[in-house]
Chain A
Amino acid sequence: MVQFFQVYKTYPGSIEALADVTFKIEKGEFIFVTGPSGAGKTTLLKLIIRAEKPDRGEILVNGRNVVRLKNSHIHLLRREVGFVFQDFKLLNHKTVYDNISLVLEALGYKMKEIPKRVRQALRIVGLEERVVKQSPLKLSGGEQQRLAIARALVNAPSILLADEPTGNLDPGLKVEILDLLEKVNYLGTTVVVATHDTNLVAKYKKRALPLYRGRLVA
C-alpha cells in the first residue's frame, strides 16, 4: 500500500529531514510514525501525498510511483489519501456542512449525492446533526478535530494520514480521537498517525515507525 525505498530528503540549508528510510505499510494497517519534534514525521507524510519530493529513493502508494508522478496527476494520488492536521485547518467562515461538502464539490460529486455523503461522514466521526449549520469556531477542540477527520474521510480514501492529530487536545480528547481513528481503520481505511506522544503509542499497541533525526531506528 505504502512503500519507501531508501528515501532521502534534505531541506535548503543542509537540514537533513529524512535519510535512508525504507519501510512498508500494508493495506488495512494502523501504524504510528513516532519521534520527537524535528524527527522527520511531517516530512514523511508530506512525501506520501507529494507535497514534497524526495532527493533520492522511491515511494510507492497504492502501486503508484509517487516520485515519478507527473504534476498533472498529483490530484489522482491525493484523492486516495486523506490528510488530518494538528491545527485542523478548517474554514471558519464556512459552516460545518460546507467544510465537508467543499471536498465533494471539488471532486465533482453529483449535487444530490453530496448531502447524503456529508451526513454519513459526520455520523462516522460522531458529530451531531445540530452542528451542521454552525461555524467550526463554535465547536470544541475535539469536535473540530472530528470535523477535520470527517472532511478527510468523506470521499472514502483508502489511506488516512494524521499529523499530530491529538497535539492540540486535552488528554481525554486524545483518546477519543485515537479511538475514532481506530474505528476508521476498522472500517477498512489504512491509517498512519504521526505523533510524539509515546504514552498514546504504548496504549494502542500498534506497529510503530520510530524516527530520530530523519532515520528509522529499531
Chain B
Amino acid sequence: MITSYFIRRALGDLKENGLTHLLSIGTIATAFFLFCSFLLLSVNFDSFLETWEKKVQIILYLKDGLDEKRIVQLKKKLEHDEGIIEVRFISKKDAMDFFRRDLAGYGGVLEGLKEDIFPASLEIKLSETFRTPERIRNLAAQLNTIKEVEEVQYGGVWLERLSLILYILSWAKWVLGGILVLIIISVTANTVRLTLYNKREEIAIMRLVGATETFVKFPFYLEGGLQGLLGAGSSLLLLFFLFYLFSFKVSPYLNLYFGQLHLSFLSFTIIMSILGVGVMSGLLGGLLSLRKAERV
C-alpha cells in the first residue's frame, strides 16, 4: 500500500508541475540523445573496424624480371613467418584477368591491354592476432625491406584513420557521459527543489502529524529517478527511430561498398545500463536537493 502511495504521489507531483517536469525531461533526453548517438557511432565503428580487420591483407608487388624459382622461394619463406597464415601468388596474367573481370562492363576500354603492365604480386593473409593497425604497419615495414619487393600495400592508412576515429569516439563518449551525468543531476535537483518549495506546506503538515522522514522524502527521490528514466527512455526511443530510418536508407549502400557490413543498434545490456544511469543520476539529483530541505 505504501509503495503504491509513493508511486501515486510521485506521479501526482509530475502531473501537478507538468510543464516544469516536461522541460526537465526534455533537457535530460537531449543530453542523453547526444551521448547515445556517440555511443551508437562508437559501437558501429567498432564493428566496422572489426569487419575491416578481418578482411585486411598485405599485398607485395614484386619487381619485374624475377624468375619463378625465386618467387616460390620467397613465398615459402613468408609462409613460415610469424603472423602469416597464407601467401598467394598472383602472376601478371592473373592480375590482368582479375582486372578484366572486375571491369567487365567496360570491355572496349580494356582492349589492347597487355599483361606486362600489371605487376606480379604476393597476397598475404594474416593471423587474427596480427590484424591490429600497429602490427600490420610493422609487418608491412619489415616486408618492404625485402629486395625483390617493389611496393607494399595494406590499406593501412584507412585502418589507422578508422582506429583514430574510434579512439576519439571512445574518449568523447566518456567525456560526454560525465557531462551528461552532471546535467541530469543538476536538472533533477533543481526540479525537485522547485517541487519541494511548492509543497513546503504539505511537507510541514506531514512532519507535524508524525510522518517519518523516509515517508516525506521518498516520493521526491522517486520523482528524480522517474525523470531520469523518462529522459533516458525517450532519448533511446527517438534514437532508435532515427537509426531505423537511417539504416533503412543507408544499409544497401554500405553492403555495396563494404560487403556484409550491417549497422546495429545498442545492445540490450547497453540500453539497460543507460536507463540505469538515468535512474541513478535522477535519484542523486533528488537526494542533493533534499539534503537542503530543512526540518519543520
The chain A residues found within 8 Å of chain B, CB to CB, are 49, 51, 71-72, 75-80, 82-83, 89, 91, 102-103, 105-108, 110-111, 151-152, 155
Residue numbers in B under 8 Å from A106 (CB-CB):
206, 209-211, 215-216
For residue B202, CB closer than 8 A to chain A, the reply is yes
User: Contact at B208–A83, with CB atoms within 8 Å?
Assistant: yes
Interface flags for B200-213 (1: CB within 8 Å of A; 0: not) read 01101111111111
Residue numbers in B under 8 Å from A151 (CB-CB):
205, 209
Residue numbers in B under 8 Å from A75 (CB-CB):
207, 210-213
User: Contact at A103–B2, with CB atoms within 8 Å?
Assistant: no
A82-B209, A102-B206 known; 20 other A-B pairs, CB under 8 Å? A51-B296, A71-B295, A75-B207, A75-B213, A78-B208, A79-B210, A83-B208, A89-B201, A89-B204, A91-B202, A91-B205, A103-B205, A106-B206, A106-B209, A107-B211, A108-B1, A110-B1, A151-B209, A155-B209, A155-B210
Which DSSP category, helix, strand, loop or mixed, fits chain B's interface? Answer: helix
For residue B5, CB closer than 8 A to chain A, the reply is yes
| Interchain CA distance A102-B215 in the complex, whole Å | 12
A-B contact list, 24 entries, CB within 8 Å: A51-B296, A72-B213, A75-B207, A75-B210, A78-B207, A78-B209, A78-B210, A79-B210, A82-B209, A83-B209, A89-B201, A91-B202, A103-B206, A103-B209, A106-B206, A106-B209, A106-B216, A107-B211, A108-B1, A108-B2, A108-B215, A151-B205, A152-B209, A155-B210
What residue of chain A has the Cβ atom nearest to residue B2's Cβ?
Answer: A108
Known: A105-B5, A106-B215. A79 touches B209 (CB 8 A): yes
| Interchain CA distance A106-B296 in the complex, whole Å | 15
Residue numbers in A under 8 Å from B210 (CB-CB):
75-80, 106-107, 155
Taking the nearest CB of chain A, how far is it from the CB of B296, in angstroms?
A: 7
Near A by CB (< 8 A), chain B positions 189-227 give 201-202, 204-213, 215-216
Near A by CB (< 8 A), chain B positions 170-204 give 201-202, 204
User: Contact at B209–A107, with CB atoms within 8 Å?
Assistant: yes
5 smallest CB-CB distances across A and B, nearest first, come from A79-B210, A106-B211, A78-B210, A75-B210, A106-B206
Residue numbers in B under 8 Å from A51 (CB-CB):
208, 296
| Interchain CA distance A80-B210 in the complex, whole Å | 8
Residue numbers in A under 8 Å from B206 (CB-CB):
102-103, 106
Near A by CB (< 8 A), chain B positions 254-296 give 295-296
What residue of chain B has the Cβ atom nearest to residue A82's Cβ?
Answer: B209
| Interchain CA distance A107-B216 in the complex, whole Å | 11
The chain B residues found within 8 Å of chain A, CB to CB, are 1-2, 5, 201-202, 204-213, 215-216, 295-296
User: Contact at A102–B202, with CB atoms within 8 Å?
Assistant: yes
Taking the nearest CB of chain B, how far is it from the CB of A50, in angstroms?
A: 10
Checking B1, B202, B204, B207 against A111 with a beta-carbon cut-off of 8 angstroms, the contacting residue is: B1
| Interchain CA distance A71-B201 in the complex, whole Å | 20
Residue numbers in B under 8 Å from A102 (CB-CB):
202, 205-206
Taking the nearest CB of chain B, how far is it from the CB of A48, in angstroms?
A: 12
- Candidate in B5, B212, B216 with the most chain A CB atoms within 10 angstroms: B212
Residue numbers in A under 8 Å from B216 (CB-CB):
106
- Candidate in B202, B204, B205, B208 with the most chain A CB atoms within 10 angstroms: B208
- Candidate in B204, B205, B207 with the most chain A CB atoms within 10 angstroms: B205
Taking the nearest CB of chain B, how far is it from the CB of A70, in angstroms?
A: 12
Taking the nearest CB of chain A, how far is it from the CB of B2, in angstroms?
A: 6
| Interchain CA distance A153-B22 in the complex, whole Å | 38
What residue of chain A has the Cβ atom nearest to residue B211's Cβ?
Answer: A106
What residue of chain B has the Cβ atom nearest to residue A77's Cβ?
Answer: B210
| Interchain CA distance A91-B1 in the complex, whole Å | 23
Residue numbers in A under 8 Å from B212 (CB-CB):
75
Taking the nearest CB of chain B, how far is it from the CB of A64, in angstroms?
A: 13
Residue numbers in B under 8 Å from A110 (CB-CB):
1
